[in-house]
Amino acid sequence: MQIKLPDGSVHEYQDGMTALDIAESISPRLRKATLGAMIDGKRADVFCPIHGDHELRLLTFDDPEGRWTYRHTASHMMAQAVQKLFPNVKVTIGPAIEDGFYYDFDIDEPFTPDDLVKIEKEIENIQKQNLPLERFELPRAEAIRYMSERKEPYKVELINDLPEDAIISFYKQGDFVDLCAGPHVESTGKVKNVKLMSVAGAYWRGNEKNKMLQRIYGTAFEKKADLDAYLTRLEEAKKRDHRKLGRELGLFAMRDEAPGMPFFLPKGMVLRNTLIDYWHDVHKKWDYLEISTPQIMRRSLWETSGHWEHYKDNMYTTVIDEEDFAIKPMNCPGSILVYDLEPHSYRELPLRYGELGRVHRHELSGALHGLFRVRCFTQDDAHILLAPEQIKDEVVRIAQLFDEVYSLFELPYTIELSTMPEDHIGSVEDWDTATKALSDAIESIGKAYVINPGDGAFYGPKLDFHIQDSLGRTWQCGTIQLDYQLPGRFDLEYVGADGEKHCPVMIHRVVFGSVERFIGVLIEHFAGKFPTWLSPVQVKVLPLTDRNIPAAKEIEKKLDALRIRVETDTRNEKIGFKIREAQMQKIPYMLVIGDKEVENNVVAVRSRGEGDLGTMPLESFTERILKEINDKVNNGN
C-alpha cells in the first residue's frame, strides 16, 4: 500500500500494517511518542490495520488531535475505575474536551472529594496494568442485546437512536467495555498523570427534562511538569475569576430577582462607560454611523428575518394589543429597517451602521455564568450594507479595526472560518460565494485562519476572532458574518452605476461581542488591575492625619478638574491600612499627604506596579498620569 506522509513523500508499506508499525519503521522514538493517527484527515486508532492507499499523519501529545485521543482514553479509564469502585453505577457518555475530559454517571449518591481521590488511585492501577485497547463492531440488533445483557440502559438508548443498518463500534480494556466511535491510544499504560478536577450536575443528553447525572471532570498530561503548570494556571484563574473580582471591586452584581441579568454598580458603570467611549472613538475614526433601534418589534419582522423559525426558542415574546411581539435577540433587523427608510445609491455604499443594542436571549439557567453567559446584554453591533464587489476591501477594513482594538488590550487572536450549517437559508451557490469572499479577504492581508465546518450562522458564513488572555485562555469575541440572505428577504435595494436596482450584501460584525462579556474577559485578563485609562478609580488620595484632610481634598479637587478619576480616604485609620485597602482595590496610584508634603507643596506617590516613586510636585504627577490616560498605556500589571 502507498502511504503519503505530511512532508509529501510517498512510501510503500505492507498492506495491513498499523500506524504504530509505520511509526516504528521511521523511528523507535516516534513509535513511543505516537498516540493517534490522522488517516485521510480523520482521527483513527494507531493499532488497527491500514488497508489501501492513504494519507497518514502520526499524532503525538504536541498535536491537538493527539491530546484529544490521550484524554479520550483517560475518560474510559475513569469510567472503568468508577464502575469497579461503585458497582451499581450506570455509565453514560465521556468525551474529551478542551484541556481535559469528563464522564457522566447515573448514581444514587453524589460523588465526594474523597471519592475522587479513590477513583484517581484506581485509575493509576489501571494505568499500571497497561491494558490494551481493543476495538470490535456489532450489528445494531446484536449491540442492543449486548448492552442490555451488561445492564447499560443509557448505551441501549444511544444505540436505538442509530440507523437500523448501522455497525456499532465498542472498545474493550480489561473487563471494561464501552460503546464508542473512538479513537484511542494503544493501551492504558500510555495515559499518565490523570487528575480529577471537580463534580457537577448534568442532565442526560443536555435536556433539562431528563434525569440529572453526576459529571466528573478531569484532565491528563503526558508530563507531570505540564500537569503541575496547568494546575498552577487554574489556581491563578480562580484568583482572577471575574465574578469574585467583580464583587470585591464593586463592579457588578447578580441577583436572583433577575437571573442572568447583571446589575452594574457605580464603579462598574465607570468602567463600562469608559470602554463604550473608546468604542465611540474607534467607530467614528472608521466612519461608522451610530443608530439605536427599538427593543420590541412585531412578530412579522422576525418571521421575515427568519429568526422566528430558526431562533424562536431563544427569544422572549409578549403580546401587545392582541398581537405577537418579540424582544429583540439581535440588532440586525432594526438596522435593515433603518436602511429601508429611504432610497440609496451605490455612491453611498458601504453604509456602516453601528449600534450598542441591548438584546435578550433565553439561556438555560444551568448555563448562566457571571458576565460570560447572560440573558440580557449589549452587543456592540455594526451592520454594513454594501455592493458585492466591495466585500473584500470591507472585510479587510474590519479586520484592521479588530487588530487595532485587540492590540490596545494586548490580546493576541486567531481567526476561524465557519462554514454552512445544516440548518441554513439560501442556496449552496450563495454560500460558496460568500465563504470564498471571506477567505480571500483574510488571505489578502496575510492572516492565517482555520476552518470550522458547519458552524456558520443560519444566514451566512462567518469569521470568528478568538482572543487569548494573559493566562493563554481563548475567548470568541469578534465576528464578521457575511449575509446574502436578509437583504433579499427584506427587498433591500440600491441604484447601481448602471442605473438599475440591485440587492446589497450585508455584513454583521461585532468587535467586543458583548460589552458585558468583554468586561468579564478584561477583568480576568488584567486580574482587576486595569490600565490607568480604564480604571474606575485612577488615584486614591491618602491623608496621614485629620489635619491633612483639607490639603488632600484640595488635591482631589484639582485632579477632578482635569477629569482624573479620584477618591480621598478620609477614614480615621492608619496609613498602612489605607495603603493596603487601596492595593486591594487595585488602584493605579496613591498619593500620600502628610505634614511634610503639605509644607513642601509635593505629593508622595505610590504606583500599583512600581511601588514607592518618592515625592514630586502635583503638576509633575498630573503630567505623568495624563500621558498614561491619553496614550492609553497598558500598565495593568
From 127, 332, 509, 517, active-site residue: 332
From 195, 240, 272, 383, active-site residue: 383
Residue 462 bears catalytic tag: yes
> Quick one: average pLDDT of 63-89?
95
Does the pLDDT at position 108 exceed 80?
Answer: yes
Residue 151 bears catalytic tag: no
Q: Take residue 318 and report the three cell numbers written for it.
A: 409578549
- The pLDDT value recorded for residue 637 is 53
Residue 129 bears catalytic tag: no
Does the pLDDT at position 137 exceed 80?
Answer: yes
Residue 383 bears catalytic tag: yes
Please, where in the chain does CATH 3.30.980.10 lie? 65-238
252-523 belongs to CATH 3.30.930.10: yes
* Distance of alpha carbon 248 from alpha carbon 517, whole angstroms: 18
From 192, 215, 360, 508, active-site residue: 508
Q: Name residue, grid cell 484517581.
A: 120
Residue 563 bears catalytic tag: no
- The pLDDT value recorded for residue 636 is 58
Please, where in the chain does CATH 3.10.20.30 lie? 2-58
Angle at alpha carbon of residue 367, lines to 366 and 373, rounded to 5°? 140
Of 367 and 97, the structure prediction assigns the larger pLDDT to 97
What does the pLDDT look like over 572-628, one tens digit per residue?
999 999 999 999 999 999 999 999 999 999 999 999 989 999 999 999 999 999 999
- The pLDDT value recorded for residue 148 is 93
Count of residues for the chain?
A: 637
Could you tell me the pLDDT band of residue 364, with boundaries at 50, 70 and 90? confident
Residue 525 bears catalytic tag: no
Task: Classify domain 539-631 at the CATH class level.
Answer: alpha beta
> Quick one: average pLDDT of 176-199?
95
Fold of 2-58: Ubiquitin-like (UB roll) (3.10.20)
Contacts of 457 (CB under 8 A, 6+ apart): 418, 421, 481, 483, 508
- The pLDDT value recorded for residue 581 is 94
Q: Which CATH number fits domain 65-238: 3.30.980.10, 2.60.120.560, 3.40.710.10, 3.40.630.30?
A: 3.30.980.10
Residue 508 bears catalytic tag: yes
Identify which of 331, 374, 349, 345 has the alpha carbon closest to the alpha carbon of residue 509. Answer: 331
Highest mean pLDDT among 104-118, 201-215, 301-315: 104-118
Please, where in the chain does CATH 3.30.930.10 lie? 252-523
From 267, 462, 540, 606, active-site residue: 462
Does the pLDDT at position 165 exceed 90?
Answer: no
DSSP string, 334-360: HHHHHHTTS--BGGGPSEEEEEEEEEE
- The pLDDT value recorded for residue 447 is 87
* Distance of alpha carbon 548 from alpha carbon 563, whole angstroms: 23
Residue 205 CA from chain centroid, whole number: 22
Asked if 317 contacts 358 with a C-beta cutoff of 8 angstroms, the reply is no
Order of strands across the sheet with 462-468? 289-290, 351-360, 376-386, 505-510, 474-483, 462-468, 413-418, 450-452
